[in-house]
Amino acid sequence: MKQVESITGQELREMFATATAWLEKSVPDIDALNVFPVPDGDCGTNMLLTMRSSVDEAYRAPDYGASTVAQAMAKGALMGARGNSGVILSQIWRGLAQGLAEKESLIGSDLADALLQASTMAYKALSNPMEGTILTVVREAASAAEAQASSGNDDLISVMEATVSAANESVANTPSLLPVLREAGVVDAGGQGLYTILEGALRYLRGEVELMQFRKPQMIASNIPLVTRLPQMVTVEEVPYGYCTEFLLKGQKLKPDKMKIRLENKGQCLIVVGDKSAVRVHIHTLDPGSIIRYATSLGTVHQVSIRNMDEQHEDFLKIQRERMPAVDIAVVAVVLGDGLSDIFTSLGVAAIVPGGQTMNPSTKDLVQAVELVVSDKVIILPNNKNVVLTAEHVQSLTTKSIKVVPTETIPQGVAALLAFDYEADLETNTQLMTEAKSAIKSIEITRAVRSTQLNGLSIKKKQAIGLLDGDLLVAGNNTADVLNKMLNKLDLKRSEIITIYYGADTELVEAEQVSASIREQHPQLQVDVVRGGQPHYNYIVSIE
């Protein structure tokens, strides 16, 4: 049996670069584990983007000491963290880096100690840590690593094997700990992602890098038998920023069609044109280096252009800042949809960060927006429950004073803005806006992207579904009927105003018919119809 007594920082970096490539293979499967049948199943995507950022930073480390590389990975993970799973993952790497402080290389017991630190740091990241999630998986994996290291057989492969085995069992057991997973018949997506990363690291230590090219990660099944096998959810990939990469490839017997197939999953906006001797390539990718390396294996590259699209986004935010008057307190909001963006801007938001369901902005995106607004005091409105944790990490990355009003829906964000007092200080405004968002009920109407059973409902793919403050309550074949059923579940006697934001896939005529029906059933209410332009959600409704 192969043994590895220790590894350097450079090997640590390569180990997790290999693990990231292994994770990439299972992203669609991990995304499809999303418990709720709404189009935001992007846990795998978020973890992959976080890992890529982590590894990219590791390649910029000033030396190859294990401590230096681990610190660089932690920094990269935090700056690139997307969504809750990405933020928690960044904290795992932060704890790992703390556990490897001042280590030039690491042995099995060092890795075990670092994993324990990683588990502790991950739990600290959440105010209400929940078992049956990635937190449970990292804790039980770390405990197994510590037990193995203490047994006397503490070479790195033995410690990592114990870690991966425990992670496998922990993921399979997540439905036993979390009722919503048990009802949906799936394991925790974040836990599955972490297991895949750890498994990739183990395969690197075993020397299986070449073999991994022809294999795919294992998707862990629940240890609770399912009555029926649920179909996979349609994967909705978020479109991240990256590098606009262009070059001319010269060579002999080039095959443009084969190149296109090879590069299709490497980025967005792919164009491959040419002949046997010259091929022009254009692609938006997060990893231009891998594209160039592939190209140079086929011939010689010329006229190389790599442009950072993050800088283009920064220029966009600068223009926004220049157009906004200086204020004592600036508000940054996460919004997706041109109509909703116009609404938030008209209410005084200093900077809009594009994002929401299916496209969670990273910590870096939020930090850039915060740094570009004029004020040194900033309030962030996440407007999505999967962005709140990301927003809470911004304060540690800026000298500005940051407050997060934890809005989880667009109506809560609007209510918070309406409560903003230009004459009040930062603390008072945070309190006022938090109180205001808590008084709002939010209904969201969308289409199920997979069949499932949840909250006693048997839901079919593409059925209309209704959520009240994030809880799925109604399913049906017609969006208007589902919205009316959602309203009938509420006591509207004390309500005064209903605002309907209709989405990009909904016609104004249909929205007006829906509002007329609501007025007929509830004549005491003021019903307003506003174009939101949001994708995926036919209606977002505010009840106040």
Cα–Cα distance between 465 and 451 in angstroms, integer? Answer: 11
Q: Which residues contact 15 (CB under 8 A, 6 or more apart)?
A: 7, 201, 204, 205
Q: What is the mean pLDDT of residues 474-495?
A: 89
Kindly tell me if the per-residue pLDDT of 239 is higher than 50: no
Q: What is the mean pLDDT of residues 188-195?
A: 95
Q: Which two tokens stand for residue 173?
A: 């057991």
Q: What is the mean pLDDT of residues 72-89?
A: 83
* pLDDT score, position 236: 32
Render 295-354 in DSSP notation, one character per residue: HHTTSEEEEEEEEEHHHHHHHHHHHHHHHSPP-SEEEEEEE-SHHHHHHHHHTT-SEEEE
* pLDDT score, position 408: 94
Kindly tell me if the per-residue pLDDT of 213 is higher than 80: yes
* pLDDT score, position 269: 67
Assign 398 a pLDDT band (cuts: 50, 70, 90): very high
Cα–Cα distance between 277 and 255 in angstroms, integer? Answer: 9
Instruction: Name which residue leads in pLDDT, 154 or 40.
Output: 154
Average pLDDT across the chain, whole number? 86
Share of the chain above pLDDT 70, in %: 89
Residue 228 CA, chain-centre distance (Å), reads 29
Place of tokens 């940051």: 402
DSSP state of 472: E
Assign 121 a pLDDT band (cuts: 50, 70, 90): confident
Kindly tell me if the per-residue pLDDT of 173 is higher than 90: yes
Spatial contact of 425 and 450, defined as CB atoms under 8 Å apart? no
* pLDDT score, position 294: 93
Look up the pTM and report it: 0.68
* pLDDT score, position 161: 95
What the chain holds in terms of domains, given with CATH numbers, is 6-212 (1.25.40.340), 243-308 (3.30.70), 324-438 (3.40.50.510), 441-543 (3.30.1180.10)
Cα–Cα distance between 479 and 466 in angstroms, integer? Answer: 8
Assign 522 a pLDDT band (cuts: 50, 70, 90): confident
Report how far apart, in Å, the C-alpha atoms of 326 and of each of 376, 457, 501 are: 10, 50, 30
Burial label, 221 (beta-carbon count in 10 A; 0-12, 13-18, 19+) = middle
Share of the chain above pLDDT 90, in %: 54
Q: What is the mean pLDDT of residues 191-204?
A: 96
| 250-291 pLDDT per residue, tens | 899 999 889 888 998 888 767 666 678 877 677 878 899 999
Q: Which two tokens stand for residue 35?
A: 């418990």
- Crossing angle for the helix pair 43-58 and 9-24, nearest 10 degrees? 150
| 8-60 pLDDT per residue, tens | 999 999 999 999 999 999 998 898 886 655 555 578 988 999 899 999 999 99
Kindly tell me if the per-residue pLDDT of 198 is higher than 70: yes
* pLDDT score, position 91: 84
Kindly tell me if the per-residue pLDDT of 86 is higher than 90: no
Report how far apart, in Å, the C-alpha atoms of 471 and of each of 89, 441, 458, 494 are: 26, 12, 15, 22
Least confident of 145-149, 228-232, 532-536: 228-232
| 451-474 pLDDT per residue, tens | 888 888 888 999 999 999 988 999
Spatial contact of 211 and 199, defined as CB atoms under 8 Å apart? no
